[in-house]
Structure 1
Amino acid sequence: MKKVIIPLVGAAVLATSLWLTLGQHTGAEATTDADYELVSKIRENNPRFANASIVVHRNLAEFGFANLYEINLGGQNMVVTEDGRYAFVGDFFDLSDITNLSAEHRTERMAQVAEQELPNVTDEMRITFSVNDGVQEIGSIYVFTDPTCTYCRRLHQELDEYAAAGVTVHYLPYPRSGLQRGRDFTQLSAIYCADDRHTAMDDFKFDQAGDKYAGVGTTAECHEIIERGYRLGQRVGVTGTPFIVLSSGGVIPGYNPARQIIQRMQ
């Protein structure tokens, strides 16, 4: 009888190209001595991970896998052995109802971290589009955004709908390509250091910037704002844009139509 082996977690081979951007991430998050020890072992096993962002999500002992941990390494979610040497890329599922337990846990954790971090956001890192005059605010959303992102532009086109419904939109900078001074980083720097940041956001997201902002946002102070936004996103667990945090609680990793988010907040 033919035996079929199903890889429950994911691919077991990590391609070299997966690690090309690890040098731009910094920091680690661990909450127990065992977690800190795991992070140390991962770094010791491969010097390329010396400055990588390593977040230990949890030990999988409650599911019968005491020697396995869910982690995020440089933006990549995976399950790793307790010696920090072997890993499976992918998520952990409950096959009885096809529930993605990894995604559920990540979403809960991201919401918790966002709730702790966002009250500390400074005005210089936040670009706010307020509700319409005479409209009572029902809540707000924080959006990690990138002007080169298609769905970020789609969300921006819905700002009038948010304003009319009473939802304030706070933008936070998050260059998807990281801190390598790519087009997304450059545009965000220009937006955040423009004389009129709201107009600059409109111009870049509606493809109307042209050469209007040439030379804007090239100072170290401008770059620092974007770097801080990126590091904040990394701490929260952002891996793509838009990434939405609701004032009513919870996060949305990706685009949702404005009407759905508004309904959720009412």
Structure 2
Amino acid sequence: MQNSSIKVKRNILSFIAILLVSLCSAQWTMAASEKEILGNLSAVRPDLKFEFVGESVLPGFYAVQVEGGPLLYVSADGGHFFDGNLYQITRKQFVDVRELALNDTRRDVFATRGTDDMIVFKPAGQTKAIINVFTDVDCGYCRKLHNEVPQLNAMGIEVRYLAFPRAGLNSDSYDKIATAWCSDTPNETLTAIKNGKRTSTSVCEDNPVADHYSLGGSLGVTGTPAIILMDGTLIPGYKPAAELAEFLGVSAIN
């Protein structure tokens, strides 16, 4: 009976030892794969910055984010990759895997992010819903959405603007939108610029436009207006105020 108990204990210890070796081996392989993947990519395109995201939902592939570019799915040996959208097949629909992950990221970002560096248009009364809008002053649909901000405010929807000059940080669009953020009256200046009124550009050194632009890129923003809800949902492009209110569950009749 005692010998049997000793044998069981030895078997358990052997199993634990094998398990620990397997885990260490798996961790070493993962680290080696990361180093090899980034090394191979950087050797071919040293001008690009690659960030190792981790294992993808696709077995045998890892996700690598190109800064300011697409998400790559790279084989574990670093020898092959493909880019583009990866979809999960469910019973009812095709689900964009990256968009699903970005929803969580966007939700977490705006749940903790302050509004000190945003231009905010608040309702006069109770705030019933919030939209975070990456905007550009030279975008026609951004102007169209901005013209409906009073209507959105009247329905209790708060509009929080972040800057996203589509032409980039070395452009007239950047200078114009940065002028709004540098103004002593940012709300009025932004409205004036969006309405096409001539305003002398005044770009201050500590403006947040570059940070907003980088944040937008990391959250999947590729164009404007890009509306992000507090639950992380991204609505690309213009939507009429009434349609936004319906989507947010806010009554269009005040």
Q: TM-score range by the shorter chain?
A: 0.7 to 0.9
Contact 2:165 2:177 in 1 (8 A): yes
For residue 184 of structure 2, give the secondary structure of its aligned residue in structure 1. coil
Q: Report the AA paired with residue 251 of structure 1.
A: L
Structure 1 runs of 4+ aligned residues shifted over 6 Å read: 94-98
For residue 56 of structure 2, give the secondary structure of its aligned residue in structure 1. strand
What is the aligned counterpart of 2:229 among 229, 246, 250?
Answer: 246
- Structure 1 residues 133-186: Cα deviation after superposition (integer angstroms, max 9, x where no partner): 3x432110111111122221221121122111110000011222333x212211
Aligned length: 218
- The answer for unaligned runs of 5 or more in structure 2 is 1-29, 250-254
Output the CA distance in 2 between the equivalents of 1:53 and 1:191.
33
- 1:126 matched to 2:118? The reply is yes
For residue 142 of structure 1, give the secondary structure of its aligned residue in structure 2. strand
- 1:153 matched to 2:178? The reply is no
Q: Report the AA paired with residue 171 of structure 1.
A: Y
Superposition pairs of residues 228-239 of structure 1, within 5 angstroms: 228-239=211-222
1:191 is matched with which residue?
180
Contact 1:45 1:85 in 2 (8 A): no
Output the CA distance in 2 between the equivalents of 1:200 and 1:115.
29
1:3 is matched with which residue?
none
- Structure 1 residues 227-254: Cα deviation after superposition (integer angstroms, max 9, x where no partner): 1112222332222222211125522233
- The answer for unaligned runs of 5 or more in structure 1 is 1-31
Instruction: Choose 1 or 2 for highest CA Rg.
Output: 2
Moved more, 160-169 or 69-78: 69-78
Residue 33 of structure 1 deviates from its aligned partner by 4.8
1:140/1:182 Cα in 2 relative to 1: closer, same or farther (>3 Å)? same
Q: Report the AA paired with residue 45 of structure 2.
A: N
Taking structure 2 as the reference length, what is the TM-score of the superposition? 0.72
- 1:59 matched to 2:56? The reply is yes
2:85 is matched with which residue?
91
- 1:115 matched to 2:107? The reply is yes
Q: CA RMSD in A?
A: 2.9
Taking structure 1 as the reference length, what is the TM-score of the superposition? 0.69
Q: Report the AA paired with residue 142 of structure 2.
A: C
Identity within the alignment, %: 26
1:5 is matched with which residue?
none
Contact 1:127 1:197 in 2 (8 A): yes
1:207 is matched with which residue?
196
